Amino acid sequence: MTDLKPRGASLRYSHAVLALAVLHQLIGSEWMSKPWRFKEASAWQIQLYELHEWTGLAASLLLVLLIWSLWRRYGADTLARFLPWLSGVGRSALAGELRGLLGGLPRLQAPDASQTRVLAAAVEGLGVLTLLFFASTGVAMWLLEDQLELMHEIGSIHEWGALPLKLYLAGHAGMALIHEWRGEGLLRRMFRGA
């Protein structure tokens, strides 16, 4: 299932800029003020929120571009590739890879990337779904900016995505770095298209 065809510019750039934007959202949200607390906030915290809002809207557009680029690359296989748990064939491929992964653990032997393609794509699919969740609740808040109470309620739903996003970044980016360190060249292929 390893696809060695170089990735096109729209996929590489939307992925790279989206990754930066999402890291920014995660870090900046620790210090920004929320609109329902502006009265007690400093000017700096309000500016951080405005940055979160506009970066979030840009990230939502980049996410649409990323999904469109994935669709262009994988065509009719896109859903089966990124949501393999939806079909019986996908679930058994996932179970097979997980068994291989767990089997290697006692010997501290991690499989190479080509042996966990289904698992990696399933994780990437969950990452895209998490971002769709952030983007839709974020855009809803932006549209309802003059109804603070409703915005506050959507904000507490928007927050649910924080833990899945952190787990996703740790797993997806963490594994990419480990494979890179082992010389498998995944980062180079994803970011430079080599």
**By the rule CB under 6 A, 124 interacts with ligand HEM:** yes
Q: What is the rounded distance in angstroms from the CA atom of residue 133 to the CA atom of residue 59? A: 12
Beta-carbon neighbour count of residue 107 at 10 Å?
7
**By the rule CB under 6 A, 84 interacts with ligand HEM:** no
**By the rule CB under 6 A, 177 interacts with ligand HEM:** yes
Least Å distance, CB 104 to ligand HEM, is 18
Q: Residues 28, 31, 32, 34: is their CA dihedral positive or negative?
A: positive
CA angle 34, 161, 126 (to 5 degrees): 150
Binding residue for ligand HEM, selected from 139, 148, 167, 171, defined by CB under 6 A? 139
Residue whose C-beta lies closest to ligand HEM: 56
Short-list 157, 161, 162, 137, CA closest to 27: 162
116: exposed, middle or buried (Cβ count in 10 Å: 0-12, 13-18, 19+)? buried
**By the rule CB under 6 A, 7 interacts with ligand HEM:** yes
**By the rule CB under 6 A, 189 interacts with ligand HEM:** yes
Which residues would be at the binding site for ligand HEM (CB under 6 A)?
Answer: 7, 11, 15, 18-19, 22, 25-26, 29, 34, 52-53, 56-57, 59-60, 70, 73, 113, 120, 124, 127-128, 131, 134-135, 138-139, 141-142, 155-156, 158-159, 162, 165, 169, 172-173, 176-177, 186-187, 189-190
